[in-house]
Structure formats: structure tokens, C-alpha cells
Amino acid sequence: KNEVEQSPQNLTAQEGEFITINCSYSVGISALHWLQQHPGGGIVSLFMLSSGKKKHGRLIATINIQEKHSSLHITASHPRDSAVYICAASGGGADGLTFGKGTHLIIQP
Amino acid sequence: DVKVTQSSRYLVKRTGEKVFLECVQDMDHENMFWYRQDPGLGLRLIYFSYDVKMKEKGDIPEGYSVSREKKERFSLILESASTNQTSMYLCASSAAEAFFGQGTRLTVV
């Protein structure tokens, strides 16, 4: 069974700072997902990665398959980025995702 | 716009009641999942289904059952609700990428 570890658990930063959230997993995967959950809100899928790097606006996700590691970066962070960010590993079958416990990010104005 | 819709955002039920949580997706996905989310434990898989009338236990199926009579609908059933089932319940469907419902916050009193 895959183990997914995220760090840090909690992160508080000032508006404008560059943010990095890390995710590591223990066994090979078919895809790595980054998800965002705002307080009281549902979960939104930000990225699905199987290799390399993806960018969407101020968000960048990278994955290193050999090292079993992925990072989510936020450039020019803004208070509206405050949310829980969750990484999840998919083995590619129908048995769902294995989730990290999430990183609670607070961006202060 | 793709959608996974859960029937309720908030529910309050009494101990011993039978509870139905409904999830509908409009993406013609074969795979559907029910998770619960608890502080400090993250998201854990309760049940999943990879086809109509097919179901598989996840990591924490005790106290739950599911029904998948139609491809687009996956129901989670609490046969006799207990206070330890107070949680956020999330439905997801997937092909390659996962899509999530908005969550149902269930309180059992």
C-alpha cells in the first residue's frame, strides 16, 4: 500500500511570498494529483501529473518519478490562496487515491 | 462543466437512523468512490465501484454499505448511524483524473 507524506503540515506566509509544498510517496504510481480545499468548501483538482511539470496561472506542480517526490509551488501568493492543499497518489487502477494528510496554508495580507 | 454532485451539504441525523448519501456524476465515469475526511486522518476510502452493481471495500468499510444501480449514481448508506460516523463525506469519480463533489458534512447526534 502506498504511503503519501506531505510537508509542511501547516504553513503561514506573507502575501507575495513564494510557497512550496512537498509530497513524497513510497511506491510507483500512475499519476499524482494536487487538490485544493477552501475552508467549508469542496475539493477541487488542481493538477494531475505523471511526469515533468505543469503550470496553471501562479501554480506550478512538478514531479520526479525516480525520487518519488512532487512539489506544488505558488508564486506571488495571495490571501485567496489560503486553503488546504492535498496530494494524492493514484496507482492507476479502480481502487482510488491514497491521500496525504494535507498542508494548511495561510497567506497573511 | 463536469460535475460531481452530492445531494446535501449538511445533514444532522440521530443515532440509529438509516442515512443515505447520494452522489451523481455526469461524466460517464466507470469509477466512483466514497471517502470520509477527519481532522488529523485525512481522506480515507470507504467503498468504491468500478461498474454498475459492482462494489469493493476500501480501507474503512465497517458500518457502511453502498449501492450502484446506475452508472451515474453511487449511494453511501449508513445502516444505523453512530456518533463516530460524524464526518465530512466526499464522493469522487474518475477516469484518469479524479473529480470531487462538494462534500456532505454529516453530524450524528
Q: What is the pLDDT of residues A28-73, one digit of tens each?
A: 888 899 999 988 777 888 999 999 999 999 999 999 999 999 999 9
Give A44's contacts (C-beta < 8 A, 6+ positions apart).
A35, A36, A37, B100
**Residue of chain A whose Cα is closest to the Cα of B30:** A94
Alpha-carbon span A88 to B73, nearest angstrom: 23
Q: How many residues does chain A have?
A: 109
Rounded to a whole number, what is the distance in Å from the CA of A49 to chain B's nearest CA?
A: 9
Alpha-carbon span A47 to A4, nearest angstrom: 16
Band (pLDDT 50/70/90 cuts) for residue A19 is very high
Q: What is the pLDDT of residues B42-74, one digit of tens each?
A: 889 999 999 999 999 998 999 999 999 999 999
Contact between B83 and B71 (Cβ < 8 Å): no
Interface of A with B in 2-61 (CB under 8 A): 31, 33, 35, 41-45, 48
Rounded to a whole number, what is the distance in Å from the CA of A62 to chain B's nearest CA?
A: 16
| Amino acid, single-letter form, for residue B76 | L
Of B40, B97, B102, the CB nearest to A45: B97
Bridge-based pairing of strands A103-108 and A10-14 is parallel
Residue A42 grid cell: 469542496
Residue A3 grid cell: 504511503
Residue A34 grid cell: 494536487
- What Å distances lie between residue B92 and A14, B26, B72, CA to CA? 33, 12, 11
